[in-house]
């Protein structure tokens, strides 16, 4: 079964509002990757976090890795219509990637 849960499953925001998706694992993660999939598209790599408590920023996106390396979050400040899509956190174990359940973001212009 799915070992990486994401919440919320779906979020609809007004353009300009902030958005956060949370990713939780039942086991300690060696690293966590984040991907974005636009409607009708394929997943695109956003970032990888490796260190406990790590925080990385990409323009309006802030990624965080929990101190215990069991959770992660992605925060988008002032959403834009271009942020629409599904955001996945992904854990790797060995040579296998396990995708989270995903959070679908819709943005009202």
Dihedral pair phi/psi, residue 77, rounded to 5°: -90, 135
Residues contacting 109, CB < 8 A, separation 6+: 15, 81
Shortest distance (Å) from residue 30 CB to other proteins: 8
Residues contacting 22, CB < 8 A, separation 6+: 6, 7, 71, 72, 73
Q: Is 81 helix (H, G, I), strand (E, B) or coil?
A: helix
Select from 14, 26, 42, 109 the one that contacts other proteins (CB under 8 A). Answer: 42
Tell me which stretch binds other proteins (CB under 8 A): 51-59, 62-70, 72-80, 95-103. Answer: 95-103
Could you say whether residue 92 binds other proteins (CB under 8 A)?
yes
Nearer to other proteins, 44 or 78 (CB): 44
Could you say whether residue 94 binds other proteins (CB under 8 A)?
yes
Select from 88, 89, 103, 107 the one that contacts other proteins (CB under 8 A). Answer: 88
Tell me which stretch binds other proteins (CB under 8 A): 21-29, 51-59, 64-72, 98-106. Answer: 98-106
Residue of 72, 105, 60, 65 lying closest to 87 (CA atoms): 105
């Amino acid at each position: 079964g799915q070992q990486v849960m994401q919440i919320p499953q779906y979020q609809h925001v007004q353009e300009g509002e902030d958005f956060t998706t949370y990713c939780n694992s039942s086991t300690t993660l060696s690293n966590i990757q984040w991907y974005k999939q636009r409607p009708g598209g394929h997943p695109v790599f956003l970032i990888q976090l490796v260190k406990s408590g790590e925080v990385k920023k990409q323009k309006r996106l802030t990624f965080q890795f929990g101190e215990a390396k069991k959770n992660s979050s992605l925060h988008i400040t002032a959403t834009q219509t271009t942020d629409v899509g599904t955001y996945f956190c992904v854990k790797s174990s060995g040579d296998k990637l396990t995708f989270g359940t995903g959070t679908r973001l819709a943005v009202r212009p």
